């Protein structure tokens, strides 16, 4: 009798553990297909590059309405697909002290404050493939009052960032100085920002990327122990041989750099 009770106790403990494991898995598994989920758990980061002229790769995008809407924005002003699409999917594990002492609501607010603190992008670093070392990505980055009056403004600190829209001037080590239109969206634990260039991005003497031809989208979904981070970069640029490699590597490195910056800000 005692052995039977002990066996039932062990069985029930195992069963509860299995249920908890499945619940934990489902925390963000429902946003991804099985293959992408398995790869993300294994590698913690996935990056893909697709080209208009080549066969498209399977998207890394989580299943989310905010992302579906963001993907439509390119075609609001373009008749054809972008020349290049870069996607990045990252699984950020929160620091242990964060999980123990911070409420879920505060964690979501923290993510929102990071994404609106655009001035802190100044000095962001990326890895230069050409120089084989880290370089500064943004020499300067700040909010401006308007396109006509580009005086530096404080970073926004709204009570809610849903539907917030700002203009940001960035001085880019590779592409010079330009203005980005930045729109924010929030739905509970999901926070996103959509950026598009209002000025051309220049490389040497060329306008490498014309206005409205660089769209960057950043999506975050905060869970109890993790933050799922997704990037979508869509661009059309001057398609000449000597520029292609430079632009492609710059766009990919941007995804890695912004994610590393997000981690530093979250843990700082």
Whether the model clears a pTM of 0.85, i.e. scores above it, the answer is: yes
Q: Are residues 5 and 87 in the same domain?
A: no
In angstroms, the CA 266 to CA 112 distance is: 11
Q: Are residues 212 and 160 in the same domain?
A: yes
In angstroms, the CA 192 to CA 81 distance is: 22
pLDDT at 100 (0 to 100): 58
HEC string of 56-119?
CCCCCCCCCHHHHHHHHHHHHCCCCCCCEEEEEEEEEECCHHHHHHCCHHHHHHHHHHHHHCHH
pLDDT at 97 (0 to 100): 74
How many structural domains comprise the chain?
2
pLDDT at 21 (0 to 100): 41
Q: What is the CATH number of the domain that holds 160?
A: 3.30.530.20
Q: Are residues 111 and 236 in the same domain?
A: yes
Q: Are residues 23 and 44 in the same domain?
A: no
Q: Are residues 151 and 237 in the same domain?
A: yes
Question: Could you tell me whether strands 165-172 and 152-153 are parallel, antiparallel, or unpaired per DSSP bridges?
Answer: unpaired
Q: Are residues 164 and 239 in the same domain?
A: yes
> How far is CA 30 from each of CA 27, 62, 192, rounded to the nearest angstrom?
7, 9, 19
Q: Are residues 45 and 124 in the same domain?
A: yes
The whole-number mean pLDDT for each consecutive block of 10 residues of the chain, a chain of 268 residues, reads 49 42 62 94 93 83 96 95 95 80 85 96 86 89 97 92 96 94 96 97 90 97 94 91 80 91 92
pLDDT at 9 (0 to 100): 44
The domain in which residue 135 lies consists of: 31-267
Q: Are residues 24 and 38 in the same domain?
A: no
pLDDT at 218 (0 to 100): 98
Q: Are residues 105 and 14 in the same domain?
A: no
Q: Are residues 120 and 151 in the same domain?
A: yes
């Amino acid at each position: 009798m005692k052995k039977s009770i002990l066996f039932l106790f062990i069985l029930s403990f195992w069963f509860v553990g299995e249920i908890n494991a499945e619940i934990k898995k489902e925390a963000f598994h429902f946003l991804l297909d099985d293959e992408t989920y398995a790869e993300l758990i294994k590698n913690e980061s996935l990056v893909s590059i697709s080209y208009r002229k080549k066969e498209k790769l399977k998207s890394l995008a989580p299943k989310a309405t905010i992302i579906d809407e963001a993907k439509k924005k390119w075609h609001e002003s373009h008749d054809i697909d972008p020349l290049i699409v870069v996607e990045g999917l990252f699984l950020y594990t929160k620091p242990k002290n964060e999980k123990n002492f911070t409420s879920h609501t505060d964690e979501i607010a923290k993510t929102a404050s990071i994404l609106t603190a655009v001035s802190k992008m100044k000095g962001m670093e990326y890895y230069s493939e050409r120089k084989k070392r880290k370089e500064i990505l943004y020499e300067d980055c700040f909010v401006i009052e308007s396109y006509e009056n580009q005086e530096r403004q404080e970073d926004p600190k709204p009570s809610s960032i849903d539907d917030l829209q700002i203009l940001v001037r960035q001085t880019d080590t590779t592409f010079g100085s330009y203005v980005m239109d930045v729109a924010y969206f929030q739905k509970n634990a999901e926070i996103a920002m959509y950026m598009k260039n209002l000025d051309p991005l220049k490389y040497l003497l060329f306008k490498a990327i014309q206005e409205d031809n660089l769209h960057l989208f950043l999506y975050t979904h905060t869970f109890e122990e993790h933050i799922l981070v997704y990037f979508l970069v869509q661009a059309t640029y001057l398609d000449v041989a000597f520029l292609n490699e430079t632009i492609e590597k710059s766009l990919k490195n941007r995804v890695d750099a912004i994610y590393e910056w997000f981690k530093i800000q979250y843990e700082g």
